Structure 1
Amino acid sequence: MDGGVSQLLEFVKQCEGKSGNALEPIIKGALEHPAIYVFSELTHCPPVEAFIESKANEKLINTLELFSYGVYLEYKNNSNKYIPLNDEMTIKLKHLTILTLCRDTRSISYKTIQSETDTPDLGKMETLVIDSIYRGIVRGKLDHDKQCFHVEASAPRDVPSERIPIMIEKLEEWLKQLESADDTIRQQLNHLNSEKDSRLFHSEKMKELYARKKEHIQQSILSSIDQSDDMPGMMRMFS
């Protein structure tokens, strides 16, 4: 579930030594490829970075950014900003939209998926989700009774630079929670070890007390036997 990184690297290699218009068919090819759902390696390779900075083909650049970070409704609401999408690219962008939804929640309602992918037909929406599962970008179960998709796992998406501080903040908060949980576990272990030591100490004391009592009783019996005139009778009594 790597989002097609290995396939993308083939397109990155094709970019070597190229510039300007020569990069356009390579970028389009990556966008159209049915197995590629991440584009960071392509976006950040030097030739494509230079192409983006040059703004030579803004619609293509916008489309690359859309497939990297965006969702389908962005395209629908501002289609003039992007290159025309063929059927495969349209489906792929809807898959990426589902992928984004899976990143933020573990259970997505059918209505949300229908709305975000502009797929009002229930059967087509389910087919879209099932296709996402078959392509290996999400894993989960469709729940017809509760009308939702239960997410088990999802492939990563590219992260825009403005989202990185938010991710760092979330990771730091997660780290704090782990440290707090670790402290709690250590305290519980220390408490359990203390109780264990206390029980062992108590057990040893009880053994010592039992041994002394036993020895005292034996000595008392022997003393009684020594003082008795009826030795055979006393022996029979304790036999």
Structure 2
Amino acid sequence: MATQATTLTDGEALKQFTILAKSGKGRACVAVIEQALNHPNVFVFGELLDMPNIQELKNTEFKSYYDLLQIFAFGSYSDYITSKDSLPQLTPQMTTKLRQLTIVFLSSSSNVIPYSILQKFLDISNVRELEDLIIDSIYQNIIKGKLDQKNKHLEIEYSIGRDVQPEQLDSMINILDNWSQSSQGLLNNINKLVEESEKVHVLYHKEREEFEKKFETAKTQYKPEPSEQLYYDSMEYSEGMGMMKNNKSAKTKKDYNKRP
């Protein structure tokens, strides 16, 4: 069963817009972009951005909508603020979404984000407004974390994935290759430890079996010397006599105290 976080990034909600973009031209593609940016479950835009009809907007009067889509795919709210004069105006839904995507963007650099950094990138001066945005993002499973109001920072445990720019792919591949090599080295060391442990386990059981066999053989072959047997018999006799004496003394004492 898909989680809410998976639903936001699996591209399923975006499919309807990529289908529309196949046949739409010019202003029709602008309408598709606006619908996608306002949709509550669309948080990845790379597939739509790559559509040929969307790419054509770069050379038309609607280039600003293509640029806006790029910011939603790869950028942050501060990127929008920097170029807002040449970009379409955001709706309240777009503003909230781009700010949430900006939190995701910041979480890729650090899992502890101070309020001051968030306020700067999100262009929010009111702390209560900032915390409300973060809480809504947590409820929507865009991020997973907690607010530290005392130390004024956000602790991130998890965030959804975002689109990756083509120029970032080589760097990501190198990171994954290094991770794969490190994991393989660690796996090899674990396998060696397991093999050594199994050898020790087998050797232990083999030595234990040999010891038990020798012990059983020694038990069957052992016979006590006559003097030892006589000593044990004497001990048993002495102990028996002692019990008899004790019983007799007790009886004598009892008879002595008995009145005629």
Contact 2:55 2:66 in 1 (8 A): no
- Paired residues of 1:72 and 1:117 also in contact (CA < 8 A): yes
| Counterpart position of 2:80 | 75
Q: Give the secondary structure class of the aligned counterpart of 2:22.
A: coil
Q: Any idea what the Cα deviations from partners look like across 1:159-183, whole Å, max 9, x if unmatched?
A: 1111111111111111112112201
Paired positions, count: 229
**1:24 to 2:1 alignment:** no
Q: Distance in 2 between matches of 1:8 and 1:156?
A: 15
State the alpha-carbon separation in 2 of the partners of residues 75 and 202 from structure 1.
74
SS of aligned partner of 2:108: helix
Q: How far off is 1:214 after superposition?
A: 1.2
2:254 corresponds to: none
Offset, 1:117: 1.1
> In the alignment, which residue of structure 1 is the partner of 2:55?
49
Quick check: 54-63 or 163-172, which moved more?
A: 54-63
Q: Provide the C-alpha distance between the structure 1 equivalents of 2:77 and 2:193, rounded to a whole number of angstroms.
A: 49
Structure 1 gaps of 5+ residues are none
- The 5-angstrom pairing of residues 102-181 of structure 1 reads 102-181=107-186
1:197 deviates by 1.6
Determine if contact 2:17/2:48 at 8 Å carries over to the other structure: yes
8 Å Cα contact 2:57/2:63 also seen in 1: no
* Higher RCO, 1 vs 2 (CA within 8 Å, ≥6 residues apart): 1
Shift of 1:86: 2.5
User: How many percent identity over aligned positions?
Assistant: 25
C-alpha distance in 2 between matches for 1:21 and 1:238 = 115
**1:7 maps to what in 2?**
13
Tell which deviates more after alignment, 144-153 or 116-125.
144-153
Structure 2 length normalisation: TM-score?
Answer: 0.79
Runs of 4 or more off by more than 3 Å in structure 1?
A: 49-52, 233-239
> CA shift at 1:237, angstroms?
7.4
Partner of 1:195: 200
Contiguous gaps of at least 5 residues in structure 2: 237-260
Does 2:190 correspond to 1:185? yes
Residues 135-154 of structure 1 show CA distances to partners (whole Å, capped at 9, x for unaligned) of: 22112111223322222221
Which is greater in Rg? 2
